[in-house]
C-alpha cells in the first residue's frame, strides 16, 4: 500500500506517470553520437555478414577444388591468403566458410538466449520454488566450463553443425538466465511496476508492457558478446574435428588442416586465425557499444 501513496518525482521536462502507466524512457540524446563514435566496427562486421550471405561477390575461386600445381603459394594479389596443400585458395575457403561458422554460431545464440531468457524470467516471476530450482540448474551449468559442456554434448551425439550449435547454445544458457533474472527483479521493484499491479493490471500484461521492454536492451548487448564467444567455441570444436566434415570449409577446420604445414606455409593458420580473432573482437565491441548506447 505504501507504493500507492508514494509519488515518484519525475525528471525535469518529463511528465509524471499515472498509476498503471509505464514510465516514459528518458531521451538519450547521445545515443546516435555513441553509435557514430564506433562506426569503424560496422564496416568489417558488414563485410563478415556479407561474406556469409553472398560469398560469390568477394571471390570467384573454388573453395573445394584446387590446382595442384599452385599448392603452397604464398599470399599474393591472385591469392590474398595463399593456397593450401591441395592448391585451394585459402581466402575463398575463409569466405565460403563464414556462412558455416556464423550460421552455427547464430543457432547457438538462439538456443542460449531463448532458453536462458525463459529460465531467468521464470526464476524472477514464478515464485521462490521456481527461483530456487532454476538457480540451482544455473549453478550446475556455471560449475562446468562452457567449452567442456559443449564438447560433452557434441561427442554424445553425431558431430555436425546442428549438434555443434545446440551444444554451444546449451552451454550459454546460464549467462542469459542470470542476466534476465537480475534485470527482471530490478525492474519489478520500481514504483511504476508496483503501481501497475496495485491498480489492477494483469500479471502478464504488466510483464509484457512494463518489464520485458526494459530487459531487451541488456539481452541484446549480451547477445552480441555471446555471438563472438560462440564463434570462438565453434572454431575450437571445429579444430578438434567436431564441426563440418572435410572438405566443407569452416574456420576451425582451416586452422586444423594448416597446422601440419606451419614450417612451410605459415599463412594457412595465421590468416584464418586473424579473421577469427577479428570477428570475436568486433562482436565484443558491438556488445559494449550497445550497452553504452542503452545506458547513456
Predicted local distance difference test score (pLDDT) of residue 245: 83
- The 10 Å Cβ neighbour count of residue 264 is 9
- The 10 Å Cβ neighbour count of residue 148 is 10
Chain-centroid distance of CA 266 in Å reads 30
Give the chain's domains with CATH numbers: 98-296 (1.10.3720.10)
Is 0.85 surpassed by the pTM of this model? no
Residue with cell string 531467468: 120
Contact 211, 184 (CB under 8 A): yes
Cα(170)–Cα(126) distance, integer angstroms: 22
Cα(30)–Cα(117) distance, integer angstroms: 29
- The 10 Å Cβ neighbour count of residue 166 is 20
Task: Write out pLDDT tens, residues 17-49.
Answer: 444 444 444 444 455 555 555 667 778 888 899
Strand partners, 111: none
Task: Write out pLDDT tens, residues 82-140.
Answer: 999 999 999 999 999 999 999 999 999 999 999 999 999 989 888 889 899 999 999 99
Amino acid at each position: 500500500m505504501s507504493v500507492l501513496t508514494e509519488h515518484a518525482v519525475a525528471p525535469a521536462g518529463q511528465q509524471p506517470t499515472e498509476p498503471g502507466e509505464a514510465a516514459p524512457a528518458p531521451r538519450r540524446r547521445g545515443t546516435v553520437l555513441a553509435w557514430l563514435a564506433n562506426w569503424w566496427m560496422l564496416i568489417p562486421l558488414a563485410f563478415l555478414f556479407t561474406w556469409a550471405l553472398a560469398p560469390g561477390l568477394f571471390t570467384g575461386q573454388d573453395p573445394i577444388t584446387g590446382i595442384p600445381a599452385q599448392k603452397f603459394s604464398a599470399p599474393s594479389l591472385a591469392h590474398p591468403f595463399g593456397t593450401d596443400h591441395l592448391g585451394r585458395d585459402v581466402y575463398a575457403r575463409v569466405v565460403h566458410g563464414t556462412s558455416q561458422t556464423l550460421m552455427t554460431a547464430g543457432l547457438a545464440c538462439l538456443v542460449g538466449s531463448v532458453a536462458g531468457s525463459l529460465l531467468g524470467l521464470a526464476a524472477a516471476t514464478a515464485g521462490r520454488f521456481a527461483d530456487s530450482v532454476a538457480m540451482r540448474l544455473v549453478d550446475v551449468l556455471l560449475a562446468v566450463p562452457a567449452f567442456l559442456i559443449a564438447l560433452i554434448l557434441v561427442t554424445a551425439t553425431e558431430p555436425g553443425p546442428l549438434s555443434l550449435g545446440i551444444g554451444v547454445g546449451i552451454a550459454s544458457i546460464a549467462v542469459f538466465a542470470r542476466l534476465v533474472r537480475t534485470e527482471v527483479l530490478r525492474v519489478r521493484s520500481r514504483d511504476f511496476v508496483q503501481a501497475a499491479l496495485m491498480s489492477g493490471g494483469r500479471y502478464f500484461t504488466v510483464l509484457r508492457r512494463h518489464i520485458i521492454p526494459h530487459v531487451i536492451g541488456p539481452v541484446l548487448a549480451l547477445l552480441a558478446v555471446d555471438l563472438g564467444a560462440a564463434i570462438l567455441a565453434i572454431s575450437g570444436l571445429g579444430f578438434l574435428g567436431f564441426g563440418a566434415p572435410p572438405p566443407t570449409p569452416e574456420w576451425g577446420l582451416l586452422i586444423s588442416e594448416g597446422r601440419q604445414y606451419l614450417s612451410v606455409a605459415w599463412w594457412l593458420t595465421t590468416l584464418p586465425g586473424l579473421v577469427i580473432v577479428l570477428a570475436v573482437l568486433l562482436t565484443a565491441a558491438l556488445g559494449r557499444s550497445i550497452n553504452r548506447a542503452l545506458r547513456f
